[in-house]
């Protein structure tokens, strides 16, 4: 009934520019830019953000304002291709850095550019292909039932028309200012990147990083998610660490190699976090991911039933332009070819059993991911939880089948990497297809656009990962790669049984308690797992969003993803990510000392506080005060 009544913005009978050279070139450029930026952000913070809306805004600004073209479907194609890069990066950074961590420890060889590219490419293409037969069941038949928040908001941005140029300026302003801030802190190094205040009475410390991307993550997530993350950080740094130091004393507790008192005396609270709290946090994150999957089981069963019905109903048989999908025969052949390639190519450490697991788990989690983002949005899609579940199951299966040791562990990571990318891309594809459904785009052309974005990002992500690893190394202070470190601990723990299981299960039961209290588990668990300096800055961003929302209490679009603060913060994230990549190039080229002015100019904590205030004022300027000026006119 809903399907018959719905009328897209561009009728099926009308043909307008959509899949053009302009849209493809712009989309590929944005796929590379946002893919690199999101990879950097995810490796630092363990969180990624959606690039669909910033890409839509930029495409509107260029196509409508600069090129003077009036084609909403062309702009939609740009964001479709561009957002694929961000999603592929989000899936890749959760798992692939594990291979670099093992190489650093001498367990394996450093993964080649070809291997990373192939894993990312196959995972991304499978994610798009698995989503195509689900479109009829999830996008068309469930229209009006599944909101797809980012997809709907993106359509609203593209339909805004006249606002495209103004909104694009917000994004570019954020990119420019963020680039400047990042260069001052990590390039010139005249302002310390972290503010730390030891609290000896509590045997701990409070710290906050001075980076625009963290403030932006908090602003985009909002006060609730930010406060949940901060609460997790407080549990770790103001409950568990003081308790371990107070009661531990002269005890040597595995995996520490010295007494707790000596560890604290030598390295402070951060050493206690490194040796103990991160394992508790890992248990909480793993449990949170599994709990989210268990809670979704009724939804999963319903989705599979609807998906099968959607496949039986066919896709692409109708003559209507707005219902044409990629041919199912092409999809079936492509999936078969990719499965065989995953098995046979030596660059991918996966056995025939592993290739079969990828197909089974791939379609399963593509379905789950597509349905989940329809309900809760891409930002809350538990991709890492799906990767954890896949990793646990595949590691156990490989171990039981006799594929043990390093070979078995690399095989398990290979499987989990492809599945993680499949889930991330399937979720992004479903959001983009929802946008296209509202606008009246041609699904087949969008699906081809997704594949182009995946290919462009896949050939970029390998170079980005190798560059970042060469410059700073994964698992370091600069690039903690929290999700990948967790995946490594799980894989080694299941295969070798060498995890400090008592600490892990403390985290598991903390997650269970949080769930019993009806509090979202994953944000709290991530806050517990990450250093406090990250979640505290994210909390500041959340407080800014709370203040802005209160100021806009009577504004109809205060909750819209298209508001100026969201767009400006998206630019801040992209700008910091891009400068992070540039500084990595500088580090590899050994030019870091040339631009480092820390020996001549060092502003200390005062400089950090001043920079933090300036960043907060910048967000308020674009989120509140610019709005007032516009309204006054």
Is the pLDDT at 62 greater than 80? The verdict is no
Is the pLDDT at 631 greater than 80? The verdict is no
Torsion angle defined by CA atoms of residues 198, 201, 203 and 205, in that order, rounded to the nearest 10 degrees = -20
Computed over every residue of the chain, the mean pLDDT equals: 82
- Does the model's pTM come out above 0.75? no
Sorted by where each begins, the domain ranges of the chain are 2-10+18-156+327-483, 173-287+488-632
Q: Is 318 exposed, middle or buried (0-12, 13-18, 19+ CB in 10 A)?
A: middle
Average pLDDT on 509-519 reads: 93
Give residues with Cβ within 8 angstroms of 67, minimum separation 6: 22
Average pLDDT on 558-562 reads: 46
Buried/exposed 565-588: b ≥16 CB within 10 Å, e otherwise? bbbbbbbbbbbbbbbbbebbebbe
When mean pLDDT is compared across 46-55, 244-253, 296-305, 492-501, the lowest value belongs to 296-305
- Which of 453 and 600 is assigned the larger pLDDT? 453
When mean pLDDT is compared across 4-18, 129-143, 342-356, 560-574, the lowest value belongs to 560-574
Structural tokens at position 85: 């890069």
596 closest CA partner among 606, 588, 586, 604: 586
Is the pLDDT at 418 greater than 80? The verdict is yes
Alpha carbon distance 461, 95 (integer Å): 13
Angle at 89 between CA 84 and CA 95, to 5 degrees: 140
Asked if residues 453 and 420 have their Cβ atoms less than 8 Å apart, the reply is no
Q: How does pLDDT run across 66-80, given as a tens digit for each residue?
A: 777 777 888 899 989
Structural tokens at position 523: 């944000």
Average pLDDT on 291-317 reads: 60
For residue 562, the model assigns a pLDDT of 42
The string of DSSP codes covering 500-536 is: -HHHHHHHHHHHHHHHHTT--HHHHHHHHHS-HHHHH
pLDDT band at 278, cuts 50/70/90? confident
3-state SS, residue 197: strand
Average pLDDT on 553-566 reads: 57
Buried/exposed 93-127: b ≥16 CB within 10 Å, e otherwise? bbbbbbbbbbeeeeebeebeeebbbbbbbbbbbbb
When mean pLDDT is compared across 45-54, 176-185, 388-397, the lowest value belongs to 45-54
Alpha carbon distance 286, 291 (integer Å): 9
When mean pLDDT is compared across 197-206, 290-299, 425-434, the lowest value belongs to 290-299
For residue 285, the model assigns a pLDDT of 77
Buried/exposed 213-226: b ≥16 CB within 10 Å, e otherwise? bbbbbbbbbbbebb
Asked if residues 542 and 223 have their Cβ atoms less than 8 Å apart, the reply is yes
Rg (CA), the chain: 24
> How many residues does this entry show for the chain?
633
Is the pLDDT at 523 greater than 50? The verdict is yes
Q: How does pLDDT run across 19-44, given as a tens digit for each residue?
A: 889 899 999 998 898 888 878 877 87
For residue 164, the model assigns a pLDDT of 46
pLDDT band at 617, cuts 50/70/90? very high
Is the pLDDT at 372 greater than 60? The verdict is yes
For residue 303, the model assigns a pLDDT of 55
Is the pLDDT at 495 greater than 90? The verdict is no
For residue 315, the model assigns a pLDDT of 45
3-state SS, residue 176: helix
Structural tokens at position 434: 């929802």
The string of DSSP codes covering 206-242 is: EEEE--HHHHHHHHHH-HHHHHHHHHHHHHIIIIIHH
- State the residue for tokens 């308790």: 243
Ramachandran category for residue 384: left, alpha or beta (phi over 0 → left; psi -120 to 50 → alpha): alpha
For residue 307, the model assigns a pLDDT of 56
**Which residues is 196 bridged to in the sheet?**
207
- Which of 588 and 254 is assigned the larger pLDDT? 254
When mean pLDDT is compared across 57-61, 126-130, 420-424, 447-451, the lowest value belongs to 57-61
Is the pLDDT at 612 greater than 90? The verdict is yes
Alpha carbon distance 384, 90 (integer Å): 10
For residue 162, the model assigns a pLDDT of 41
Element (H, E) at 195: strand 194-199
Alpha carbon distance 413, 409 (integer Å): 6
3-state SS, residue 146: strand
């Amino acid at each position: 009934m809903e399907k018959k009544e719905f009328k897209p913005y561009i009728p099926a009978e009308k043909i307008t520019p959509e899949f053009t050279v302009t849209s493809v070139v712009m989309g590929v450029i944005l796929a590379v830019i946002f893919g690199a930026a999101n990879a950097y952000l995810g490796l630092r913070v363990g969180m990624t953000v959606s690039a669909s809306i910033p890409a839509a805004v930029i495409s509107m600004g260029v196509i409508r304002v600069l090129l003077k073209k009036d084609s909403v479907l062309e702009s939609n194609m740009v964001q479709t291709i561009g957002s694929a890069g961000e999603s592929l990066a989000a899936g890749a950074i959760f798992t692939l850095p594990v291979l670099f961590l093992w190489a650093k420890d001498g367990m394996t060889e450093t993964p080649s550019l070809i291997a990373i590219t192939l894993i990312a490419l196959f995972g991304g293409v499978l994610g798009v292909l698995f989503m195509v037969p689900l479109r009829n069941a999830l996008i068309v038949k469930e229209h009006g039932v599944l909101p797809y928040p980012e997809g709907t908001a993106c359509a609203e941005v593209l339909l805004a028309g006249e606002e495209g140029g103004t909104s694009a300026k917000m994004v570019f302003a954020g990119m420019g200012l963020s680039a400047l801030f990042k260069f001052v802190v990590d390039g010139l190094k005249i302002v310390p990147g972290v503010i730390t205040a030891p609290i000896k009475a509590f045997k701990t410390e409070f710290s906050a990083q001075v980076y625009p991307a963290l403030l932006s993550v908090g602003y985009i997530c909002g006060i609730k998610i930010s406060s949940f993350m901060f609460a997790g950080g407080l549990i770790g740094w103001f409950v568990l660490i003081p308790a371990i130091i107070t009661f531990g004393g002269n005890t040597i507790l595995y995996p520490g190699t010295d007494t707790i008192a000596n560890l604290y005396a030598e390295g402070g609270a951060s050493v206690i976090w490194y040796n103990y709290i991160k394992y508790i946090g890992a248990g909480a994150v793993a449990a949170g991911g599994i709990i989210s999957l268990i809670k979704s089981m009724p939804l999963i069963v319903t989705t599979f039933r609807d998906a099968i019905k959607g496949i039986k109903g066919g896709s692409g048989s109708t003559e209507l332009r707005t219902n044409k999908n990629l041919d199912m025969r092409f999809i079936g052949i492509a999936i078969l070819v990719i499965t065989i390639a995953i098995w046979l190519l030596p660059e991918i450490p996966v056995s025939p059993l592993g290739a079969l697991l990828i197909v089974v788990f791939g379609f399963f989690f593509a379905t789950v991911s597509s349905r989940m983002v329809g309900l809760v949005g891409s930002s809350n899609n538990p991709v890492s939880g799906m990767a954890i579940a896949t990793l646990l199951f595949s590691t156990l299966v490989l171990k039981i089948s006799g594929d043990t040791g390093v070979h078995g562990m690399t095989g398990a990571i290979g499987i989990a990497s492809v599945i993680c990318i499949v889930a991330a891309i399937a979720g992004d594809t479903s959001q983009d297809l929802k946008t296209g459904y509202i606008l009246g785009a041609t699904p087949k052309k969008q699906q081809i656009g997704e594949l182009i974005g995946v290919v462009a990002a896949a050939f970029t992500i390998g170079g980005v990962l190798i560059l970042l690893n060469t410059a700073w190394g994964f698992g370091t202070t600069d690039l903690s790669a929290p999700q990948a470190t967790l995946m490594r601990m799980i894989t080694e723990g299941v295969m070798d049984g060498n995890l400090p299981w008592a600490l892990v299960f403390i985290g598991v039961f903390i997650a269970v308690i949080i769930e019993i209290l009806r509090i979202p588990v994953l944000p709290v668990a991530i806050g517990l797992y990450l250093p406090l300096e990250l979640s505290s800055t994210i909390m500041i961003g959340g407080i800014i969003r709370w203040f802005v929302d209160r100021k806009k209490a009577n504004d109809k679009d205060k909750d819209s993803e298209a508001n100026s603060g969201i767009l400006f913060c998206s630019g801040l994230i992209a700008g910091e990510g891009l400068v992070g990549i540039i500084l990595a190039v500088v580090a590899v080229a050994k030019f870091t000392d040339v631009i480092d002015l820390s020996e001549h100019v060092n502003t200390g904590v005062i400089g950090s506080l001043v920079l933090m205030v300036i960043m907060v004022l910048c967000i308020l300027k674009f989120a509140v005060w610019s709005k007032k000026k516009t309204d006054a006119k």
